[in-house]
Amino acid sequence: MQIVVFAIFIAVAVCVFIALRYRLRSRDNAPAAPSDVYLGLRSQVFQNSRAKLGLASPPELNHPWGVVMDWGMPKGTATVVAMSDGAASVYLSSGGGYIGGQSNENVRGAAKTAVETAAEFQPTMLLAAEFPLPPKGQARFYLLTDEGVFTATASDDDLSSSGHPLSKLADAMQEVVSQYRLMQDGK
C-alpha cells in the first residue's frame, strides 16, 4: 500500500513540475505588450551615444546630434526621434510607429532639419538627468548632445500659437511625422 501511495505521490509531483515548467516557458515566449516595446525603444534613444550610433561629431559639444519629442496625447504618448544623419522614428505607446526613415529622402531631410532647428533652442533648455514622459496635453523635448541631454516642456495650447519659442521645433518634429505619413500613402 505504501509503495502505491508513494508512486502516486511521485506521479502527481512530476505532473505538477511539468505543468509549472510549461506555464513558465509559455509566459517567457509571450509577446511583449505594446507599452513595453514602446518604452524599450524610447529608452534606447537615451542610452546610446553619438559615437555608438556612428554619427559625425557636431561643431560644438552642446550642439544636438539628436532630438526627441514626447507628446502627451489623449490616449498615450507619441515619441518622435530625429538624428543628424537623417534617421527618424515615431513610436506610439499604444503600439505601432515607424523606424529608420533614412532611405526616404523626404523623411531624411525632415529629420536633419529638425536637428538643425533644435540647435537654436539648446541655450534656453535645462540639462536633464531623467527623461519622464509628459502629461496629456504637453510636449517635452530632449536634445541629445555630447555635453548631455537638454530638455524643455510646453503645452499643446502654447505650441499651437506660432508665437511660442518652441513652436518652430514642434513644427519641425511634426514634419518628420508628416513625411512618414506621406511615404506610407505612397506620395
Low-confidence ranges of the chain (pLDDT < 50): 1-27
For residue 169, what is its C-alpha cell? Answer: 521645433
pTM: 0.80
**27, HSE (Cβ side, Cα atoms, 13 Å):** 6
pLDDT number for residue 8: 34
Helices (H), the chain: 2-28, 34-47, 50-53, 105-121, 156-160, 167-184
Q: How do residues 87-108 score in pLDDT, each as one tens digit?
A: 999 999 988 888 887 888 999 9
**What single-letter DSSP state applies at residue 135?**
P
Q: List, in order, residues 6 or more apart from 138 with CB less than 8 Å away.
A: 72, 153, 154, 155, 156
Question: What residue spans define the domains of the chain?
Answer: 1-30, 34-184
